[in-house]
């Protein structure tokens, strides 16, 4: 009596069946895990005074670095507060006010520049800034959603000075990943506004 020899194809098929059975067994309650993000270590909140040759002063965090704006259309007293650890920049642009007409145009520009993010924003809220004892007035725009800028504001004494600020992250705007950092930096923007003074 002659024994039939198993061919390599049969062995291969048997191995596939065993692997398939092993892979299918196990926990039937499997569900995909949510996307993970890097753990962020936030520095301590410590502030220092900005008091350079511009007609204003304010406090900003020690982990922020102030640099002059080097863009082609930059003017004197245009500054950027860099947050290298968070890949973010707070752009500050100062304009001396020469007339009521110019003042109205600057305020309208701030409104237009904030609302140009409407396409990506889920909402844009306006908050009034008022510190009459320091003659600091303005509007704070909170921009929610995946917009390029999450916070913008302007400050003025309504007669001679105007300063606009805009916070940008140097990466693709994804609110779910930047929200903790955004909340952290917004507190610094609040401190800056609360300590802001015209010279």
Q: Would you list the DSSP string of 36-53?
A: P-----PPP--EEEE-SS
Digits of tens for pLDDT over the chain (199 positions)? 454 555 666 777 777 776 666 666 555 565 666 665 566 789 999 999 999 989 999 999 999 999 999 999 999 999 999 999 999 999 999 999 999 999 999 999 998 888 876 666 677 889 999 999 999 999 999 888 777 788 999 999 999 999 999 999 887 766 667 888 889 999 999 999 999 999 9
Q: Which CATH class is domain 47-198?
A: alpha beta
pLDDT for residue 24? 61
Taking alpha carbons only, the member of 164, 160, 168, 161 closest to residue 185 is 168
pLDDT for residue 99? 95
Domain residue ranges in the chain: 47-198
């Amino acid at each position: 009596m002659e024994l039939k020899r198993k061919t390599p194809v049969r062995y291969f098929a048997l191995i596939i069946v065993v692997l398939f059975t092993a892979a299918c067994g196990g926990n039937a309650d499997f569900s995909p895990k949510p996307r993970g993000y890097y753990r962020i270590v936030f520095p301590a909140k410590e502030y220092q005074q900005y008091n350079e040759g511009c007609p204003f002063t304010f406090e900003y965090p020690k982990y922020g670095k102030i640099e002059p704006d080097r863009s082609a259309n930059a003017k004197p007293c245009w500054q950027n507060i860099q947050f290298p650890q968070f890949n973010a920049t707070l752009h500050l642009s100062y304009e001396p006010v020469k007339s009521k007409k110019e003042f109205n145009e600057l305020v309208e520009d701030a409104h237009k520049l904030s609302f140009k993010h409407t396409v990506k924003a889920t909402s844009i809220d306006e908050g009034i800034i008022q510190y009459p004892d320091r003659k600091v007035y303005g509007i704070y725009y909170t921009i929610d959603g995946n917009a390029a800028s999450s916070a913008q504001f302007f400050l003025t004494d309504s007669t001679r000075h105007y300063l606009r600020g805009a916070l940008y992250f140097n990466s693709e705007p994804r609110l779910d990943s930047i929200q903790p950092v955004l909340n952290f930096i917004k507190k610094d923007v609040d401190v800056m506004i609360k300590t802001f003074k015209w010279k």
